[in-house]
């Protein structure tokens, strides 16, 4: 389970691109893109999360359905945090995981999460991560250590206690958060991943992602 949060992005093999524009779009959420991104099941999980793409009036989106499942998809991508430090996410949780304790190993599941990775050594186990989550039980801005590793922090950007089955757009200053939670001055990010997981709680969740990008403000 330790590898669940630190290794999952690095497992995906992509062409790495260094981007320095004032707005960096991470995912297209198209059928063509989904075919090229490997979905990696978490070890010991019973099943993979099912990811499908759709479209509404605001563009493409990704739907994630997890039924006692856990798998993620991601991109190894270089983001200049001195130019574009702000992560922007539009997302929605249709079916949440209320009643679990997300700060424990048994309840450490999220209907929607986006985590960012900084390589800090030769192996994935040395990487540092911030796990931005759509919580089913905690309040916005609540943070806690990942129960599996001290190299990852969970940060609540949205909660179904306030916005269940509603699209929400949120922002996070990734550069500031790496300094605050890991005491690292990070100039360049190495990876971004999406995961919906219910393998610990054995529950079901449905969530959606749209317009994930980095910006200058």
pLDDT tens digits for range 171-186: 999 999 999 999 999 9
Residues 12-54 have pLDDT tens digits of: 333 344 444 588 999 999 999 998 887 777 877 888 999 999 9
209: helix, coil or strand? strand
Question: Considering Cα of 138, then 51, then 208, then 217, what sign does the dihedral take?
Answer: positive
Catalogue all structural domains in the chain, each as residue range(s) with its CATH number. Answer: 3-215 (2.60.120.260)
**CA geometry: angle 47, 213, 40, nearest 5 deg:** 20
Burial class (CB in 10 A: 0-12, 13-18, 19+), 17: exposed
Q: What is the Cα–Cα distance from 150 to 69, expressed in whole angstroms?
A: 24
In angstroms, the first-to-last Cα distance of the chain is 35
């Amino acid at each position: 389970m330790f590898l669940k949060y630190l290794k999952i992005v690095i497992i995906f093999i992509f062409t790495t691109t260094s981007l320095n524009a004032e707005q960096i779009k991470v995912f297209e959420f198209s059928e063509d893109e989904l075919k090229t991104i490997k979905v990696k099941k978490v070890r010991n999980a019973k099943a993979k999360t099912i990811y499908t793409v759709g479209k509404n009036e605001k563009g493409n989106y990704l739907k994630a359905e997890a039924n006692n499942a856990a798998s993620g998809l991601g991109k190894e991508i270089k983001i200049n945090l001195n130019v574009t430090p702000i992560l922007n996410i539009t997302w929605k949780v249709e079916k949440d995981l209320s009643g679990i304790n997300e700060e424990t190993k048994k309840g450490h599941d999220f209907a929607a999460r986006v985590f960012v990775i900084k390589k800090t050594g030769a192996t994935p186990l040395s990487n540092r991560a911030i796990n931005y989550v759509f919580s089913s039980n905690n309040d916005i801005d609540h943070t806690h250590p990942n129960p599996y590793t001290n190299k990852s922090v969970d940060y609540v950007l949205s909660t179904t206690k306030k916005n269940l089955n509603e699209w929400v757009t949120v922002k996070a200053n990734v550069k500031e958060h790496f300094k605050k939670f890991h005491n690292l001055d990070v100039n360049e990010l190495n990876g971004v991943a999406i995961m919906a997981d219910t393998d610990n709680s054995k529950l079901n969740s449905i969530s959606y992602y749209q317009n994930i990008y980095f910006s200058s403000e």
